[in-house]
């Protein structure tokens, strides 16, 4: 049976600028064919087993040929799959959506178009520039500055009224300015360049047609150029005031962790980039609980899996009354408490080394450790040194989410919540810029970062999401 294709706009910049219709459609798809310019956080809407295929479409980087993309859509649809063709901005605004639909029609493949917020409107708007204004500009024109042969006579646009919006024109900005002035546009005409619109890294430079190329030199792509009277306006949104207003942060880890920390940071006014590159997968089964005097948890994930295990096996929680329950910190303890399991042991400092000492001081019996595959050896080493018997059961593993592209973190800060997260980030090809400070939850996480970069490191205390947010605020003072 033939499948179905959504030709879908991802919107401009951040993931939350996609439409609700587009977000819901992503959850139905078996395959997502996406451009490099989209916010990778959009891919987290896809189901766990969805195939994610990046086809590039970023200036100066390798991209799949349009013919190959067309063939990819047809191949997957004819195999009976539901496909999302996820494109930056809007699929019909220089997005080649029409070419892809023509190919689908040739093969009788059903499709639907989901509009997206185009950067031609959104990038200027987010920088406080309206593309129209009743008393100044009653029309606007969207122009591509990029052509196959590289030749373009920009003077031909000099006689157009209203606001001129150029896409894909950052490298051609000197030629655009010179061409418009050659065509008769006044050198004093307001102009603006908005780089990385809709993201935490958005930057806007204002000037005139005569000096905008010089002022915008060195700005990163993608960028939108606005020329006309409205480019002099600054109707920028009033930012939420807080201790982190104007601060940009990349948050890495599992989706649950990034959402939790992002919420804390955004409440203080930070601009947050979510990079949920990790997922949790089950590994070993939890053994029978007979013979143990203590169960130790080093994370909320392990605690959740234990609670699920008790429900699946119909274990009466009252049978745990004869055991000590140990949790590494408040977050883990809270997960257990929500299920009616109140921990007996929580160390004053939320580290596995302190957890081991607290366990050894509280129980002489055998300990069942339920934790991640890459758990710190400090826990078992300290227990062994104190002659405490234990079974170290790796009930889950933290792995990279398949299909999530590598990230270049160019924010003021980046946060890592675990050593495994650091490893997957850097060994997956992701990098951080020279200006970016690294915030680590735990000393071991900080030690892992040192293996990959000489970035300035801040270690959060306490070792929680709240501690990471507090560490960033403390560094800004």
**From 30, 87, 168, 260, the catalytic residue:** 168
CA 212 to CA 164: how far, in whole Å? 14
CA 104 to CA 192: how far, in whole Å? 39
Contact 392, 416 (CB under 8 A): no
Contact 417, 257 (CB under 8 A): yes
**From 8, 30, 35, 39, the catalytic residue:** 35
Cα dihedral 392, 393, 395, 398 sign: positive
Cα 216 to Cα 37, 364, 410, distances in angstroms:
21, 68, 18
> Structure tokens of 413?
């800060």
Q: Please confirm, yes or no, whether 168 is among the known catalytic residues.
A: yes
> Residues 6 or more apart from 254 whose CB is under 8 A from it?
276, 278, 279, 280, 301, 398
DSSP 164-230: EEEES-STTHHHHHHHHHHTT--TTSEEEEEESTTSTT-EEEEEETTTHHHHTTTPPSSEEEEESGG
> Residues 6 or more apart from 130 whose CB is under 8 A from it?
124, 137, 230, 233, 235
Beta strands in 271-404, from DSSP E residues, in sequence order: 271-282, 294-297, 324-327, 367-372, 390-400
Contact 357, 363 (CB under 8 A): no
SS3 call for 99:
helix
List the one residue out of 180, 237, 236 whose CA is nearest residue 210: 180
List the one residue out of 275, 121, 87, 95 whose CA is nearest residue 198: 121
**From 8, 39, 57, 305, the catalytic residue:** 57
Across 322-343, b (16+ Cβ under 10 Å) vs e yields ebbbbbbbebbbebbeeeebeb
Determine the distance from the C-alpha atom of residue 442 to the mean position of all C-alpha atoms in its chain, rounded to a whole number: 22
Residues annotated catalytic, as ranges: 35, 57, 168
């Amino acid at each position: 049976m033939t499948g179905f294709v959504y030709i879908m706009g991802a919107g401009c910049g951040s993931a939350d600028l996609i439409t609700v219709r587009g977000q819901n459609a992503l959850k139905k798809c078996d395959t997502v064919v996406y451009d490099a310019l989209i916010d990778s956080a959009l891919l987290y809407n896809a189901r766990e087993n969805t195939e994610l295929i990046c086809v590039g479409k970023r200036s100066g980087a390798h991209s799949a040929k349009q013919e190959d993309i067309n063939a990819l859509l047809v191949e997957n649809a004819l195999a009976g799959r539901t496909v999302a063709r996820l494109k930056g901005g809007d699929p019909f605004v220089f997005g080649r959506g029409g070419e892809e639909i023509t190919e689908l029609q040739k093969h009788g493949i059903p499709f639907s178009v989901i509009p997206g917020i185009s950067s031609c409107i959104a990038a200027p708007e987010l920088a406080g520039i309206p593309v129209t204004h009743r008393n100044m500009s009653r029309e606007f024109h969207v122009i591509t500055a990029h052509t196959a042969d590289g030749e373009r006579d920009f003077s031909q646009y000099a006689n157009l009224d209203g606001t001129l919006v150029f896409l894909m024109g950052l490298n051609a900005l000197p030629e655009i300015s010179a061409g418009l002035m050659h065509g008769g546009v006044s050198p004093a005409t307001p102009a603006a360049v908005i780089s990385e619109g809709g993201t935490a890294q958005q930057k806007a430079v204002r000037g005139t047609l005569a000096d905008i190329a010089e002022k915008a030199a060195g700005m990163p792509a993608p960028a939108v150029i606005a020329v006309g009277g409205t480019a002099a306006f600054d109707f920028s949104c009033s930012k939420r005031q807080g201790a982190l207003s104007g601060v940009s942060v990349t948050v890495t880890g599992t989706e649950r962790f990034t959402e939790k920390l992002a919420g804390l940071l955004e409440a203080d006014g930070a601009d947050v980039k979510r990079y949920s590159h990790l997922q949790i997968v089950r590994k070993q089964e939890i053994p029978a609980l007979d013979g143990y005097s203590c169960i130790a948890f080093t994370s909320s994930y392990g605690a959740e899996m234990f609670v699920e295990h008790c429900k699946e096996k119909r274990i009466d929680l009252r049978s745990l009354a004869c055991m000590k329950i140990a949790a590494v910190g408040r977050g883990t303890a809270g997960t257990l408490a929500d299920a009616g399991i109140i921990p007996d042991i929580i160390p004053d400092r939320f580290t596995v080394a302190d957890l081991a000492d607290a366990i050894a001081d509280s129980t002489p019996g055998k300990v069942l450790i339920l934790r991640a595959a890459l758990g710190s050896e400090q826990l078992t080493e300290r227990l062994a040194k104190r002659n405490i018997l234990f079974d170290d059961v790796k009930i889950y593993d933290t792995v990279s989410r398949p299909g999530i592209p590598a990230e270049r973190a160019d924010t003021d800060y980046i946060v890592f919540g675990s050593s495994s997260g650091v490893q997957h980030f850097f060994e997956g090809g992701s990098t951080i810029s020279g200006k970016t400070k690294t915030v680590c939850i735990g000393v071991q996480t900080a030690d892992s970062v040192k293996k990959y970069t000489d970035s300035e490191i801040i270690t959060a205390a306490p070792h929680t999401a709240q501690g990471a947010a507090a560490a960033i605020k403390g560094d800004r003072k």
